[in-house]
Structure 1
Amino acid sequence: MNVTSVSFPYGESIHWFSPQKIQSLPDNQLKDWLLATGSLTQRLKTHCTHFEVKILGEHLLTPLQDEFPSHREPVWIREVLLCLDGTPWVFARTLIPQNILDSTRNQFTHLGTRPLGELLFTSPDITPGNIEVAQFETCGRLAALATSLNQQVDASLWGRRRYFNLHDSQLIVSEIFLPAAVEHINNV
């Protein structure tokens, strides 16, 4: 794998849509994955023998323009690859505002290689919110990341973004399906 922390962060500015307001959602199995309301981590684990989180980087940074409209101050940004049997399937980017970091015992900044999804779907204090979807062009930063992982990008990448409510605030998790995942999902 050619990924280095020098390239962190990989996130790119993108316009997200409510699934009901986008006409071009994939008309295949991937659509079900994009709109699934349960834990993506748990679902991914059912498709492999070995599940692994590879950290690309995490740091207190200013979010991209329009990425977190209610926060212009720095937020904790964590970017990881979710790998199944050694193959990266999902690029995930999490944004956590400082007030959540200051007021929580969940230790978001000390997850290490533990999947965030396990914490989000097991904590009684965290409530999953709305899902939005987006299509990523083949010439963007995430396509370049996929290419660096030896995954050929022949079509647009698709991802979802979900808000999680905690202590009268929100954190955001974006999950973009890489070509290896899309190929497997659509051929099942």
Structure 2
Amino acid sequence: MKVTSLSFPYGESIQWFSPERADSIQNAQLKDWLLATGSLTLKLKNLCNDFEVKVLGEQLTSPLATDTMIEETVWMREVLLCLDGTPWVFARTLVPQSLLDFKSQAFTQLGNKPLGELLYTSPEIIPGKIELAKFDTCSRLAKLATSLKQEISDPLWGRRRHFSIDTRHLTVSEIFLPAAVAHMKLHNK
């Protein structure tokens, strides 16, 4: 897999919408995965022998214009969630500076550990609503999938969720790559 930090960040300014408008998603399995409220990490781990987090990059940066809940410097982390060596999900986490000041080690020293394990096992972290997005076949994320030797024939779909810790919010975005969608279609899961 040829992925370098030279292209970090891979994410882009994204137009998110509410799940009530999810009727445009034709693939029922993908729609179920996008709207699932539990841990994506746990769900993915149950489908493979070897689950791996590949860090594409992480750094302090300014939030993108569409990240409206965060108006301060953020710790951005972009990763690939891989099942048996194949990237299935591109994920981006945005942690505001104020939350880093409060819980820095929990986020900045994850390394290759999945963030999902922290988010869904800590009682102080409260998941918020899910939002959805569609990525055209010419988007930066589609180009990332192509660089991973995954054929792009349909738009990519992703979800974003805000998590609260006290009065602070962090954001996690997860975009399903073609390998994940192909598996869903093939196995009806």
TM over 0.5: yes
Superposition TM-score tier, normalisation by shorter sequence: over 0.9
List structure 1 segments (4+ residues) > 3 angstroms apart after TM superposition: none
Change (3 A) 1:71 1:149: same
Q: What CA distance in whole angstroms lies between the structure 2 residues aligned with 1:160 and 1:71?
A: 17
Q: What CA distance in whole angstroms lies between the structure 2 residues aligned with 1:112 and 1:48?
A: 21
Cα displacement string for residues 72-100 of structure 1 (whole angstroms, at most 9, x for unaligned residues): 33200000000000000000000000111
Q: Please say if 1:71 is aligned against 2:70.
A: yes
**Alignment of structure 1 residues 51-130 onto 2, 5 Å:** 51-66=51-66, 68-104=67-103, 107-130=106-129
Deviation at 1:105, TM superposition (A): 6.3
| Structure 2 residue ranges without an equivalent (≥5) | none
TM-score, normalising length from structure 1? 0.96
The amino acid that maps onto 1:94 is: T
TM-score, normalising length from structure 2? 0.95
User: SS at 2:63's partner residue?
Assistant: coil
The amino acid that maps onto 1:172 is: T
Aligned to 2:9: 9
The amino acid that maps onto 1:161 is: R
| Structure 1 residue ranges without an equivalent (≥5) | none
The amino acid that maps onto 1:125 is: E
CA RMSD of aligned residues (A): 1.1
Whether the 8 Å contact between 2:57 and 2:77 is mirrored in structure 1 is yes
Q: Please say if 1:183 is aligned against 2:182.
A: yes
Q: What CA distance in whole angstroms lies between the structure 1 residues aligned with 2:102 and 2:47?
A: 35
Whether the 8 Å contact between 2:70 and 2:169 is mirrored in structure 1 is no
Cα displacement string for residues 143-186 of structure 1 (whole angstroms, at most 9, x for unaligned residues): 00000000010000000001101121110000000000000011
Whether the 8 Å contact between 1:100 and 1:167 is mirrored in structure 2 is no
Deviation at 1:127, TM superposition (A): 0.6
